[in-house]
Structure 1
Amino acid sequence: MRVLLLALVLAGCAGGGETAPPGADFGPDPQLTAPHSQLIPTVKVAPAVGWRQGAAPTPAPGLKVQVYASGLNHPRQLYLLPSGDVLVAETAQPPSPAPKGLKAWFEAHFMKKAGANVPSPNRITLLRDADGDGTAETRSVLLEGLNSPYGMALVGQTLYVADTDALLAFPYRPGDTRITAPARKVADLSAVQPNYHWTKNLVAGPDGALYVAGGSNSNVGEKGMEIEADRALIQKIDPATGAREVYASGLRNPVGMAWEPQTGALWVAVNERDEIGDSVPPDYMTAVKAGGFYGWPYSYWGGHVDKRAKPPRPDLVATAVTPDYALGAHTASLGLAFADANVAGLPPTYTGGAFVGQHGSWNRSVPAGYKVIFIPFRGGRPAGGPQDVLTGFLDAKGRAQGRPVGVALDRTGALLVADDVGNTVWRVSAAAPTRP
């Protein structure tokens, strides 16, 4: 018991090594501090407390925020249907065996404190704002009995859902509020224990394929590479046959995916590895190169070698693609959505760029993330620093009132944000013009 208590104290106070200046771990050329060996990982959790009555996150100047839907159960991912209805995946990590070892126990304990490791609702809920006032006045359970669902994509009259262990297909008719037909399994997805990064995201491609992202089964391959088969990659899957190929690999935890509207390129937001410092390596977003290898577990940010990965693979490191844009270390950048030039629900400032939902750090001495940011684009490429869109998820005591995850644009072009601690979907739009 004394050893355990000592470890808890050390974990709460562990330093994160050299720290980059604020903002230096963002952009196309981030400042990478030297990796810092940590016997015990830094743990600084923002306890999840939820929003008090009437409270809300803080929008940037020129914006307003309202409740689109509240009283949800761990909403994580959003998807806009052609009708304007919004699907929300209410989901969480599936059950797993009790953690083995002190380090694993630590992580499970603090993740629960942060609002994770809760029972998964295992459903997809449909939200409908029929009168266009920015609040969903009706909701219905479209699908239930799923297995930690996350990604959703509608192609014609088929709704595809990425559970943690399978890509599923369901018949869908416009206007449906409930689907009772059994699923057709398109393909199995790896859920080998401990199923460390359990989310499987999904986008439909213009080529008719489905692109499915899944994260690694460990931090840096420390559990052996055998359990990493079909992990840390984006797969391209034929929806008719289930045939698959690796589209890109070496992506530790690719979550948010979206097509950039000007170039048609697939972009992904990736959570990088832990336990080598507060400022290294940064999470990132990047245009995905077909066949590209992005380093995990052998290197990060291109060719920066991670000496913890055994045995080393200099042959793979030599091919590692450097990402396009750093999103800050340990920000847990999970949501990604693009605004094109036709966005009417937001000011012109927010056209031609990417919105990123940053869930927030749990393993950094100074918290990072816990907000939604906007990265301006020009010519299909990032063209400026991050701009805060929605903040205030941490209260004055450093507690998490909410944590943003998935982001999507509604039919008016306003921004929707899933908040899995606040159990709310927020809607961010242009503020009403002020009278002179």
Structure 2
Amino acid sequence: MIRLAWLAFPAALFLTAATLTQQAEQPVLKGAAAFGDWRADRPGVRRLIKPEDLPRPYVTKSASNSAGLADRPADAKPRLPPGFSAELIASGIDNPRVVRIAPNGDLFVADSEANQIRVYRLTEGSAKPAKDGIFAGNLNQPYGIAFYPPGNDPQWVYVANRDSIVRFAYRDGDLKAASDPETIVDNIPATHHWTRDIVFSPDGKTLYLSVGSGSNVAEDMTKEPDGGLDAWAKSKPLGATWGSEDGRADVRAFDPDGKNGRIVATGLRNCSGMTVQPATGALWCVVNERDALGDNVPSEYATVVKDGGFYGWPWYYIGSNADPRHKGERPDLAGRATIPDVLMQAHSAPLNIAFYDGKDVPAGSGFPAEYKGDAFVALHGSWNRGNRTGYKVVRLLFRDGKPTGEYEDFITGFVVSNGEVWGRPVGVAVARDGGLIVTEDGNGTIWRVTYSGGRS
């Protein structure tokens, strides 16, 4: 009955221009007003959360509130701003996660639970695959995908498994790997958070790898490391972890051949998605923060990854806020945590980020000009919140290459009711024709979002 009621008003899936104009005239939701839930989500709604807006820990109880998974109704589509439309590329995939675009336009999709990388070649100007196949199989929960060297003629496809980075020889247009994988980096910690993303620096000299934590808040790090804390702090990067968390909750860097590994930044509980900002060359990541402190604390975030930066986990969050479960343990780190650039609602579970550059998009195609330089983030959805949030794709707003801190609902409509969802967004990527490719692993679908309305 719930699904029939939801299907009774398909016209509501798309906002009218008048509605969007009214939203644009409404103030940005700030402070406590920004801490809503899925019922208030719709394309065009903007939020701005600042560090001082965060409530104290334990203002609300820690919830266990996972959404049930519903079958996607036959005519259900993502809900978009006026002028935009979504077309289904594929469905019934086991676990589509990260999507990356090859220089020739092919879509490479990590089908993580099936342990394979899929590839789709779309018919020009449509979402219909002209060809598709399995590029590589027998992997170990693959997630991140990167082409090397960066540019129009890559020779390799790199894939991040949960415990390693491998690469396959590649020639433009390959739909299937022609050789066995070559291991570039091994012995990556593999338990608990397993979403390993990878990206190359613009000059191709550095391969970045994100490694999430092995726990919620490093419960077993109450003991000091061997040799004592002072010696550890002097010999390791700022905020480096130890014990079962050694080498985790960080971003690492390697040469393209996997050598000369080092830690770039620490205290990032689970950086599940990385990308390079085209306008600046800066490395960005989106982070899933810790649980069990309440509905609205701490914020999830997107941030520039600063070399040598410490982002707080597990001792602090969003600057100098001490986690009460580790209070007093690391006074030497007080005031030394980097504050992230864009804060998002707690427990939204951001998994991937992609900037909308648009510089190579054919004239007359792509999104309106005001989207250029902004970023899209896929929010997988909450479980540790009394009233659910997430289950959408949001747009981070930038001005002159710098984030304003505001973010805007761009794609919603994945929630069926207060108890069920049909979609859980994971991957976002900008196609060569300027469309936005989105994956979701609730019903295993891939979508192409395009704009055909009046241009600005």
TM-score by length of 2: 0.80
Match of 1:199 in 2: 195
Match of 1:262 in 2: 279
Match of 1:410 in 2: 431
Say how many residue pairs are matched. 385
Name the SS for the 1:21 alignment partner. Answer: helix
Match of 2:138 in 1: 145
Say if 1:29 and 1:325, in contact at 8 Å, map to a contact too. no
Deviations 1:205-256 (A, max 9, x none): 1241100001100000013341111110000011224220001110000011
Match of 2:53 in 1: 31
Say if 1:77 and 1:150, in contact at 8 Å, map to a contact too. yes
Say if 2:267 and 2:311, in contact at 8 Å, map to a contact too. yes
- The counterpart of 1:222, out of the listed 216, 219, 232, is 219
Query: Which amino acid in the other structure matches residue 410 of structure 1?
Result: A
TM-score by length of 1: 0.84
Match of 2:237 in 1: none
Say if 2:358 and 2:366, in contact at 8 Å, map to a contact too. no
Q: CA deviation at 1:37?
A: 7.7
Query: Which amino acid in the other structure matches residue 341 of structure 2?
Result: D
Matches of 2:193 and 2:385 in 1, distance apart?
A: 19
Match of 2:402 in 1: 381
Say if 1:30 and 1:326, in contact at 8 Å, map to a contact too. no
Deviations 1:154-195 (A, max 9, x none): 103011111000011111111111114121111124335xx1
Matches of 2:189 and 2:382 in 1, distance apart?
A: 24
Matches of 2:245 and 2:328 in 1, distance apart?
A: 15
Say if 2:217 and 2:313, in contact at 8 Å, map to a contact too. yes
The answer as to 2:370 corresponding to 1:349 is yes
Match of 1:212 in 2: 209
Deviations 1:387-431 (A, max 9, x none): 211101101343111100110000111111111112111111113
Match of 2:15 in 1: none
Q: CA deviation at 1:131?
A: 3.0
Matches of 2:454 and 2:132 in 1, distance apart?
A: 31
- Cα RMSD over matched residues? 2.0
Gaps of 5+ in 1: 1-19, 92-119
Query: Which amino acid in the other structure matches residue 260 of structure 1?
Result: Q
Q: CA deviation at 1:341?
A: 4.9
Say if 2:197 and 2:273, in contact at 8 Å, map to a contact too. yes
Matches of 2:217 and 2:49 in 1, distance apart?
A: 24
Name the SS for the 1:421 alignment partner. Answer: coil
Match of 1:185 in 2: 183
Q: CA deviation at 1:433?
A: 5.2
Q: Decide whether aligned partners of structure 1 residues 65 and 426 sit closer, same or farther in structure 2, where only a CA change above 3 A counts.
A: same
The answer as to 2:114 corresponding to 1:121 is yes
Structure 1 window deviating more from structure 2 (371-380 vs 313-322): it is 313-322
Match of 1:101 in 2: none
Matches of 1:187 and 1:317 in 2, distance apart?
A: 34
Q: Decide whether aligned partners of structure 1 residues 396 and 349 sit closer, same or farther in structure 2, where only a CA change above 3 A counts.
A: farther
Q: CA deviation at 1:22?
A: 3.2
Say if 1:337 and 1:408, in contact at 8 Å, map to a contact too. yes
Q: CA deviation at 1:280?
A: 0.6
- The counterpart of 1:313, out of the listed 327, 330, 333, is 330
Matches of 1:173 and 1:55 in 2, distance apart?
A: 37
The answer as to 2:384 corresponding to 1:363 is yes
Name the SS for the 2:99 alignment partner. Answer: strand
Name the SS for the 1:206 alignment partner. Answer: coil
- The counterpart of 1:21, out of the listed 32, 36, 45, is 32
Gaps of 5+ in 2: 1-30, 36-46, 149-153, 222-241
